[in-house]
Structure 1
Amino acid sequence: MIRLAVDAMGGDHAPEAMVAGAELARDQHQDLEILLFGDEQQLQAQLKDSTRIKIKPTTEMITMEDEPVRAVKGKRDSSIVQAALAVKNGAADALVSAGSTGALMVVGLLMIGRIKGIDRPGLTVTMPVIDNEIGFTMIDAGANADAKLDNIRQYATLGTFYAENVRKVKHPRVGLINNGSEADKGDIAHQKMHDMLVQMGENGEINFIGNIESRYLLNGVADVVVTDGFSGNVALKATEGSALAVINMLKTGIKTSGLRGKLGALLLKRPLQAIAKKMDYTRYGGAVLLGLQSPVIKGHGNSTAKMFKNCLDHAYEIASSGYTEAVKEYLLKSAVTKQATEK
């Protein structure tokens, strides 16, 4: 049985969307149990079927306005803190929240803890590509803006294992976001990142294909896109914004094109729906904070029931994939090998 701890009070549409999403996910997976942390009265009022869904009462909640570290330390009975403690204590396999990103990162680092050998966890997102349904994985998408070389090395490893174990991509292609594809492009920091990743590729640790420009991301040029948190967050928001802009432009164009345009849109309804679905990044189920002892998944703050259900599906997928165990075993072997080599 896979158990997910849910911060049911986090998000713009909490707790309605979280409870409804939990029921949808529960119906999808017969070996899934969900623990809903939050205000008992509110959760009970929303819950229609308690089969494999348990309410865990809490008396506090952390809002977007709260300073994350202070709030986590001061509101010990908040829904997100208690959900994190359930994961830490082994009562749940993964943590899911659509609430404060800062608070989620704090509980992830301070309570659930890092995997030994990982200095800074990376926020990982899966984004759509034009010619397949798998998409590509980007790490880091905003957790660590001032990434060092060791962070990038670890992100390449985490991203590769994630693509292989969770996304089921064989021998995933790893690319580094840069302002050009040539090896000497970028500032000194990115040139050093490139050279280090080349070495990892030569050692057989990853399948590094070189620098990639962000304009090619949606073409599926790489399976795993490695970057520092600053560049990754900029690329992520630009990609999301572009996808939404294109869809909105199509809708506006159809509405303002008169009868002929509307008739044409009617004939193209299925292809247009397919395009909209393919470019919908929310179907991949939020972002994952990779590098922690257990999976931590961040849903969009404006998550609807369907979007939150996708987050829970994603958490279930990661928890049942053996991803965390595989990374721990690899890093342990790497550490032992390194110590032996140094001796």
Structure 2
Amino acid sequence: MSSVAALRNLLENGSEITIVCHNNPDPDCLASALALGRLAADTGIDERHILYSGNISHQQNRAFVNLLEIELQPFDPAAVTGRESGELLAFVDHSVPGANNKVPEGTPVDIVIDHHPAEDIEAAFVDHREEVGATATILTEYVHESGLDIDTTLATALLFAIRRETLSFLRGVTADEYRAAATLHEHVDKDLLQRLASPSVSSATVDAIADAIEHRVVRGPVLLSHVGRTNERDAIPQAADYLATLEGVETAIVFGLVDDTVQISGRSTDARVHIGDVLHDAFADVGSAGGHREMAGGEIPLGLFADYTDDDDRLTEMIEQIITGRLVAELNLAEDDDDEDDD
């Protein structure tokens, strides 16, 4: 039985589906959830829910939800525990309960579709392909093979997600992404796609990126920086994307304080560096971190540091020393490398 046939068989035996997005969902996760919901509807499931936790703060993500009118609900633990027969639980773009989601560890999951590195995935149906560039690529394949009508909203959502996840087909892209794009192209609303690609940017995001530029330290091909405290969580990966384009920089890692956590984002084009492994090995003992060879992220609870001082500058300085020390060790950077800080 093919993967799409196995998935449809499971859906046809379900009466309700709850699709849980990962924390602070991005377009790849949201578009994949939308597509899985359409597949569920096509098999006769009328009760469909897409849940999310955290924030949708990136301007593109907000535009994505608003312009495509995706119906989301805040995460509710009661929706995923104590389910009755036929009530399905699905993960898209993540795979393990308690890892980048608020689902209690050990919760049975029925469907997992993901492309991020992960271990010990357990579900009735699993399609875990680390080699592809986006989870939306997998869902496009399912939609196409199911013969499902690809309407403008769904096509635009999936294509934008694939473009965003692969940096417009420049990062982690495979032949599967090009095939998916070809499938979606004729159904896309090109004007809407352009609007999604060019949303307005908040002043807080610009300020955070400016702080990252000011605080950058370069050691050979590696750039480390921080944005201090920010309410714009998604400004951190945007800063990492921008700083990774600087001449001579092959690896850029940026962190920032968001609420009671340290958020970290890394980018790398260095063939010697798997940035997902770097962040995982450096911070897995104090938080959650990991990702792909070229793109990764992490989250570390402030813990006792949050009670140590209410001075954000002092707190940032302390966290910077710890994070920099771990990254210097993990990347095997010489302590006496010349630092470049162009304030």
Shorter chain as denominator, the TM-score bin is under 0.3
TM-score by length of 2: 0.28
Q: RCO greater where, 1 or 2, for CA within 8 Å and sep 6 or more?
A: 1
TM-score by length of 1: 0.28
